[in-house]
Amino acid sequence: MRFRGTGDALIRLLAQRAPPPFWHEMLVLAFSLLASPDYAPYAVVDQTVEAISRDKKGSAAAGKFVNALLRRYLREQSHWQQQLAHEPEAVWNYPDWWIRRLQSDYPQHWQHILRAGNALPPMTLRVNVRQQSRQHYLEQLHAAGIQALASSVADSAVVLERPVPVQHLPGFASGAVSVQDAAAQLAAPLLDLQAGQQVLDACAAPGGKTAHILESVDCELLALDHDEQRLQRVSDNLQRLQLSGQCRAGDAARPEGWAQGRHFDRILADVPCTASGIVRRHADIRWLRRESDIVQLATSAERILDALWSRLKPGGKLLLATCSVFPREGEQQARRFVQRHTDAVALPAPAQMLPDDDSYLAHLEHADSSIPDRLASTHDGFFYAVLEKRA
């Protein structure tokens, strides 16, 4: 998925006719492997030909076609690399519309955002401060031979130098720690939570922010999500972390079906979005989205926000959160909300957080003493807006 734009472009340039979808996918895979120094070119070609010839969707003709195309690319590699330089999708490995959109929205930063989405993300943890301090958990990690450092983005965040299976993390099974990006860990603090408050986490699944709220303060929390299967993940997370909250399936845009007359002191609205800020963790997102999804998802989010506002107590706070970098889903969404609701006041918040592109790979490959400090600041792309309801 991280190489798909290049693979698609090479097929367009090399093939006289468009290959069937299955052949096309096999070629994209082969080209991505050929770009890596970890695979011998002759082995990639031979195994691709064998795989496509043996599969029921392939044939001897498919094998010959793939063999000829890959070997031609290897013979004339420098020529085709020069041709790729004129193909934006191949250079950046994003759809053309995505690149153009970021160029328009962020004329000074679009390259930064695209590079960040192509980088391998670090593994970031959230320490359960109900059980221990972040410093104490760092000491546990080091004792277990796992190198890590405190994040400068969020007070409970720890960044690992190398990802490890969660079962290798000290205390994971007993709820000492969870996996969560540092930017996502800002939601609970931004809610300005107080003990005993009525708190709603709308669109709660898979439950990372839900759990962080309950780790932060004793409150009466309702975790809402429209998908019952995804809601089960919230329950499982709370159980592992030894936390207690009510989970309920329901449509956030239709409070009459689940609110039962309740109003809340705090509402977390992690509304639907393109997830354009987390493509380094989910590389397929860029190829699954269409440009029209931005407006469609933003419109759906508007309905949810308007409905949730009716459930917020006077003097209460609603936190709008999205893991997107597109302004229509973040900054413009918040501005339009305040225009629609005269009783809404936007409070200071981090607003748009662009994904960090500090070189995680360089940290693994080079002993540069400046890199740990940069790694401590790494995070995904997020947007936050704190909206207070006038009393």
Give just the sign of the alpha carbon dihedral 303, 307, 308, 314: positive
d(CA 311, CA 252) in angstroms, rounded, equals 10
Angle among Cα 143, 148, 154 to the nearest 5 degrees reads 125
* Inter-CA distances, 348 with 168, 319, 386, 388, Å: 39, 11, 7, 11
From the CB of residue 343, how many other CB atoms can be counted at a distance below 10 Å?
Answer: 13
CA dihedral in degrees (225, 227, 228, 230; nearest 10)?
-90
Which residue of the set 219, 247, 273, 323 is catalytic? 323
Beta-carbon contacts of 4 under 8 Å, excluding residues fewer than 6 positions away, are: 28, 32, 93, 287
Structure tokens at 243: 């936390």
Residue 339's identity, in one-letter code, is: Q
Cβ–Cβ < 8 Å for 160, 377 = no
d(CA 202, CA 305) in angstroms, rounded, equals 10
Active site residue 323: yes
The C-alpha R_g of the chain, in whole angstroms, comes to 24
d(CA 111, CA 113) in angstroms, rounded, equals 5
Query: Which phi and psi angles does 208 have, rounded to 5°?
Result: -60, -45
Partners of residue 249 on adjacent β-strands: 225
Report DSSP state, residue 260: T
Beta-carbon contacts of 334 under 8 Å, excluding residues fewer than 6 positions away, are: 320, 346, 383, 385, 387
- Residues marked active site are found at 323
